[in-house]
Structure 1
Amino acid sequence: MPNTNGSLIDEYIAGLRRKGRKAATLRAYRGDLTAAAAAFPQPLTELRREALERWLGEVRAASTQARRLASLRGFFEWCLARELIDHDPTLGLEVRSSTRRLPRPVKGDKDRKALDAATAAYEMPYRLIFTLLRETGMRVGEVLALNVGDVSLAPGQEGLHVRDPKNRVERVVILGPNSTKRSLRLLRQHLKAIGADGGLPSTHPLFCSNRATRLIYGTVLYHWGKLCETAGLLDAEGKPRYTIHQLRHTTATELLEAGHKVETVQRRLGHKDIRTTMGYAEVSDAAVRAELEGGPQRR
């Protein structure tokens, strides 16, 4: 019986699972390949690039199109290695460029102050987590991955060692008594509360659940919803008007509006490409308006 997309999905996914691929990645691959199997029930050897190209073109979102193509490429590479096909039908396929979206910071002083006030009154350690996100612009995953040994509070050397960021490049998030005053104070308080001075190993998670395991994103997301409720920032459906990630956008925008160099903000956020950081400069309309309304500067 000829091999088809559908007949090989389970075997392919099982192989990826043995290689240690994350559950979310496996679900995405299975979903994409299942959709392709429904569209192309014919034997693998009869699949043609033109048909795949038309199928991908039916997807409106460029990001979804790119993900589907990545799923197909991995699958057909696997098939080719096992000599189930004699050519890869995805060779030469391209997806349309994604429309670059501008960052979305929390809007207006009123909303930002409401969030800051709610954060300042929230329970620990979530108060510290949200404060770090707000003052440093770190990603949630970076904060939750911190270990006790990643924190340095020595005078003049305050910082957080980020070991597994999105772009796979380690960096130190610099802290300071002026730029991250609240984070430093809360970090000292938190380290004392968890007994870091009593000999905790450097690999001990900085943030733990009640079961002494590393805190997970879902728990932080739950508390983010409670925080937004306290701040009065829910939409008509009772959901937060802002995402946690928008704290990162807000930090970057405020730094640029305060006159910091783009390169400094790039280093703070850990952007590999400065063009990503430039997106925040484009969204900073307030700074442009202030300069224009102030009139031309004399030289």
Structure 2
Amino acid sequence: MTQKIRGVVRGMILGVCLTGSAVAADNVDLTTPEGAIVANRKIQCSTIDNRPVFYTWQGSAFSRRRGEADQLLFKVSGMNVRQCVTIRDEKRGEGYRLVSREIMIYLDPRTGKIMDRWRNPFLGRDVDVMHVANDPVNQPPSFPYSASAKPVARWYGTEITGSWFMNLTIPLFYHNVLQGEYQKYVGGAYHAAEMFNFMGETANLIDGRKDTAAVKVGWVRVSEWLPWMEMQGREGLVYVHAAGKKLNGYEDLSPELKEYIETRAPAYKVPPPGDDTRPNATTWTVFKEQTRPEKLPRGGYR
């Protein structure tokens, strides 16, 4: 799950701990700003400061082009490790900040193995795969009240027959770091959308004795072609459909993810420090950092 959306989603899914180190014994009241904050922090991470929390998801990526059937491009398997730290403000109340880093690997749809080269069916040749490794993916602070002490946090979920669920749709349209400085005139802006479904059991969520909630998640992402696919502006897009859940810990990750982390990205076993101030990373910013720019030759690449 990449891009500015982290700030948007984290801003929508607010949360804060009442003590920063332990949860209250009373059940969480979802009708109050403070209660909504506690519930949403339990969804995102833990009400205990600096406690690592892992999410994972698995799914498939497809192509969509006018006039032809969608194609399964590859499978995906991802993880995010995060932690929350409590922040206190005289007017806005007791809030929190979430810091995280995430990986999503691309898998061969037939073998399920990690792919480092991919046969691009639209080009008829192989390209190098750049797996998602975004560090950090942090949120701005979230509070129950505004700077003028007005309530801003509320529970966005729906409760039915003992269960809760919440959906968020995040349209994205902003300056593309891989394009030039004339996007206002000739286009090229980053254009995508991410759609999330979070769900769980209400009793588990509002239990004041629990510092975190058991959560399942659905995720859909629609975007332009990934930079490493070398599509050179061809018409079409990629959509990813995945499902996942919050885990008990690192050991619950899939064998493929643990292999990737242990051999290529050991820093992803733990979240960033709670006071991390680095700018967020995305697939597009990481690609720019790791790829030498080239001018398109007359006639383009084949």
TM-score, structure 2 normalization = 0.23
Higher RCO (CA < 8 A, seq sep 6+): 2
Q: Structure 1 or 2: larger helix share? A: 1
When normalised by structure 1's length, the TM-score is 0.23
The structure where strand makes up a greater share of residues is 2
